[in-house]
């Protein structure tokens, strides 16, 4: 659908947080009621939560599973048509040829099924003393991307754990999606740590809207470089980070790949490309402790760079950077935490101290973030030193507990380097 056919630049989106019980009929009845209420308030797109028709748990999937079409999806089709809305039907356990899937059905204003998205990344985690959950014990994964058109925008669909995989969101955005929806049911361990972080990461990385729909909580239910300098080389200027070893030898020289060209009306305009040239390669170096990947400031906004570094064995990513007083409070910490939790690495950022009298005022707040996405040390705006102990066993533990490194669907998507430094 071409942009010219989309007359509306704004539309109302409703996200339903449903109280899910063991009574399927009650779940369906309340879902219908809340969808109608949302439509009555002007919503054009309504999103239901993951497993909206059944309790979430491996022990329930087979019991509540349905064919599609079936009882639950027929209800969704009917209410979508009655209300004249696009209805993202959360997800239900779907049975097909003896296999069970966690499936999201989307219906158009005419009640017709637009797409059926089967959850690609199954939720298999083991966090000792907190939670163990293995969707793969009962469910099978989907094997395709799912997008649909509306008169408002193109929408990409994922389910819950799919949100941890930045590649999926990147592909959706690349294919023109402006809204990503993730029906999901994060738990009381991963929820407070990662639920909002991942949504904000997907949104700011891809500059899209992100909507998540969760079941309501039922307490009774069974569930972190040296810095950078302008470098002149053959008449060109680069924003360059140099790394030296204990013997004083130059280990690598990283030229900033992504130049900081932004224009936020009424706040800040900055165009690095007016004076600088971009680098054209990745930069990594080995230490006795771990492999380190290097980026500079604006490079941090590009999730693909961090993904490649992690894929190549980097356990620490360093970003000397100087975010400003507009982007700093909005995105500085968010991007660090996103790069860390997406790739299960440590992320360190080093900022100039803030100088209110300067023509460009830096945000400050140099930080280190651990692989769980927690800020473990952070400076304020003044000149200071912050310290962090990098625990690679902790990194390994996080990767074992939530093993996204081995769960990536390379049969569906892949992020690869085109050019690397020697």
Closest CA to 149 of 120, 168, 177, 169: 177
Domain boundaries defined on the chain? 3-213, 229-407
pLDDT for residue 172: 93
**Gap between the Cα atoms of 296 and 101, Å rounded:** 42
**Gap between the Cα atoms of 304 and 258, Å rounded:** 12
pLDDT for residue 303: 92
pLDDT for residue 110: 95
Q: Consecutive sets of 10 residues in the chain, 422 residues long: mean pLDDT of each?
A: 46 72 91 91 82 80 90 94 89 88 87 84 77 78 83 87 90 93 80 87 90 70 37 61 51 50 64 58 78 83 92 89 85 95 91 77 86 91 77 93 88 76 42
Cα angle 275, 277, 283 (rounded to 5 degrees) comes to: 140
pLDDT for residue 1: 40
pLDDT for residue 85: 87
pLDDT for residue 227: 31
> Which residues fall within 8 angstroms of residue 339, CB to CB, at 6 or more apart?
300, 303, 306, 317, 345, 347, 369
Hey, what's the torsion of the CAs at 347, 351, 353, 355, to 10 degrees?
-140
Please list the active-site residues: 50, 119, 160
**Gap between the Cα atoms of 196 and 204, Å rounded:** 12
What does 355-422 look like in DSSP terms, one character per residue? -TTSSS-B----EEE-TTS-EEEE--SSS--------HHHHHHHHHHS-HHHH--TTT-----S-B--
**Token digits of residue 48:** 């239901």
Is residue 165 left, alpha or beta, with left meaning phi > 0 and alpha meaning psi from -120 to 50?
beta
pLDDT for residue 270: 55
Please state at what angle helix 333-343 crosses helix 196-206, rounded to 10 degrees. Answer: 110
Task: Indicate if 229-407 has the same CATH topology as 3-213.
Answer: yes
pLDDT for residue 138: 81
**Token digits of residue 253:** 């020289």
**CATH entry, 3-213, from 3.60.110.10, 3.30.565.10, 3.40.50.280, 3.40.50.300:** 3.60.110.10
**Gap between the Cα atoms of 73 and 112, Å rounded:** 10
Burial status of residue 59 (CB atoms within 10 A of its CB: 0-12, 13-18, 19 or more): exposed
229-407 maps to CATH 3.60.110.10: yes
Please state at what angle helix 166-174 crosses helix 303-311, rounded to 10 degrees. Answer: 140
pLDDT for residue 255: 53
pTM for the model = 0.68
**Gap between the Cα atoms of 94 and 73, Å rounded:** 10
> Which residues fall within 8 angstroms of residue 347, CB to CB, at 6 or more apart?
224, 306, 316, 317, 318, 319, 336, 337, 339, 340, 368, 369
pLDDT for residue 279: 61
pLDDT for residue 32: 93
**Other Cβ atoms closer than 10 A to 245:** 12
Closest CA to 106 of 183, 160, 163: 183
**Other Cβ atoms closer than 10 A to 39:** 20
Residue 334 DSSP class: H
**Token digits of residue 91:** 């997800």
**Gap between the Cα atoms of 322 and 318, Å rounded:** 13
Compute φ and ψ for 419, nearest 5 degrees.
-140, 135
Half-sphere exposure of 393 (CA within 13 A, CB side): 0
Hey, what's the torsion of the CAs at 296, 301, 303, 308, to 10 degrees?
-10
pLDDT for residue 290: 84
């Amino acid at each position: 659908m071409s942009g010219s056919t989309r007359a509306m630049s704004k539309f109302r989106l409703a996200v339903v947080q449903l109280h899910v019980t063991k009574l399927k009929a009650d779940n369906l009845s309340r879902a219908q009621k809340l969808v109608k209420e949302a439509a009555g308030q002007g919503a054009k797109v309504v999103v239901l939560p993951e497993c909206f028709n059944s309790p979430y748990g491996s022990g329930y999937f087979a019991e509540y599973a349905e064919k599609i079409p079936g009882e639950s999806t027929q209800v969704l089709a009917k209410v979508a048509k009655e209300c004249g809305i696009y209805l993202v039907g959360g997800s239900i356990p779907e049975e097909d040829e003896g296999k069970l899937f966690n499936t999201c059905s989307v219906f158009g204003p005419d009640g017709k099924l637009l797409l059926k998205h089967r959850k690609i990344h199954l939720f298999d985690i083991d966090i000792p003393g907190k939670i163990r959950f293995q969707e793969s014990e009962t469910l099978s994964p989907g094997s395709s991307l799912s997008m649909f058109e509306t008169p408002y925008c193109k929408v990409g669909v994922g389910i819950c754990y799919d949100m941890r995989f930045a590649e999926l969101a990147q592909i959706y955005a690349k294919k023109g999606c402006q809204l990503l929806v993730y029906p999901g049911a994060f738990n009381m361990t991963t929820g407070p740590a990662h639920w909002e972080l991942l949504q904000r990461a997907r949104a700011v990385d891809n500059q899209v809207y992100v909507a998540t729909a969760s079941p309501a909580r039922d307490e009774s239910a069974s569930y972190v470089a040296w810095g950078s300098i302008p470098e002149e080389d053959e008449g060109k200027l680069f924003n360059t980070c140099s790394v030296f070893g204990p013997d004083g030898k130059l280990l690598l020289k990283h030229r900033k790949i992504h130049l900081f060209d932004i224009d936020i009306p009424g706040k800040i305009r900055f165009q690095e490309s007016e004076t600088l040239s971009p680098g054209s390669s990745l930069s990594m170096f080995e230490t006795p402790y771990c492999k380190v990947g290097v980026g500079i400031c604006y490079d941090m906004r590009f999730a693909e760079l961090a993904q490649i570094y992690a894929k190549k064995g980097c356990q620490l990513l360093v970003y000397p950077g100087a975010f400003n007083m507009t982007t700093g409070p909005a995105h500085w910490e968010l991007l660090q935490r996103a790069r860390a939790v997406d790739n299960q690495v440590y992320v360190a950022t080093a900022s100039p101290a803030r100088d209110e009298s300067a023509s460009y005022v830096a945000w400050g707040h140099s930080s280190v973030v651990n692989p769980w996405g927690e800020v473990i040390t952070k400076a304020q705006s003044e000149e200071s030193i912050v310290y962090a102990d990098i625990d690679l066993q902790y990194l390994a533990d996080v990767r074992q507990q939530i093993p996204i490194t081995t769960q990536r669907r390379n049969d569906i998507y892949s992020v690869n380097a085109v050019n690397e430094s020697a």
